[in-house]
Amino acid sequence: MWGYRENASYQPGTDLTGFKVEATDGSIGKVDKHSEDVGAAYIVVDTGMWIFGKEVLLPAGIVVRIDPREKKVFVDRTKEQIKDAPEFDKEKHVGDPAYHEQLGNYYGRPPRT
């Protein structure tokens, strides 16, 4: 859950900031920040006006593909699933295992089709 998939085309050291994020059913925003820390990799998506400026933290494991030429990150969740996700907590995202567990439980559910 907390690492990029081998087939996602993530290259360590790549700055994903500003990349567009595509859910299975359309664009959801842009990468505001990201981490490639082993066992704790994630992207933070600024959804902008789509859901009134909410930021969400997505574990790197839901990234299915990165297209560096198009500057897009594709995830295997719908816009609704991301909208319903727990909101990004700037205070808890580093060093709070309970927060990561909460997100892991939410995103660990199989994707809806």
User: In the prediction, which pLDDT does 51 show?
Assistant: 56
Residue of higher predicted confidence among 18 and 53: 18
Instruction: Tell me, yes or no, whether 68 lies in a domain.
Output: yes
In this structure, of 30-34, 48-52, 78-82, 100-104, the range with the lowest mean pLDDT score is 48-52
Nearest to 34 by CA among 83, 81, 8: 8
User: In the prediction, which pLDDT does 113 show?
Assistant: 45
Structural domain count of the chain: 1
Instruction: Tell me, yes or no, whether 1 lies in a domain.
Output: no
What average pLDDT does the segment 27-50 reach?
87
Instruction: Tell me, yes or no, whether 112 lies in a domain.
Output: no
Residue of higher predicted confidence among 83 and 27: 27
Q: What CATH number did the domain enclosing 92 receive?
A: 2.30.30.240
Tell me the pTM.
Answer: 0.87
Residues 55-113 have pLDDT tens digits of: 899 999 999 999 999 999 999 999 989 888 888 878 777 667 788 888 888 888 655 54
> Is the pLDDT reported for residue 26 higher than 90?
yes
Q: How far is CA 82 from CA 11, 38, 42, 76, 94, in A?
A: 24, 23, 14, 10, 20
Instruction: Tell me, yes or no, whether 72 lies in a domain.
Output: yes
Q: Which domain, by its residues, includes 63?
A: 6-107
Token output for 77: 């969740």
Instruction: Tell me, yes or no, whether 67 lies in a domain.
Output: yes
Residue of higher predicted confidence among 7 and 104: 7
Distance in angstroms (rounded) separating the CA atoms of residues 79 and 97: 26
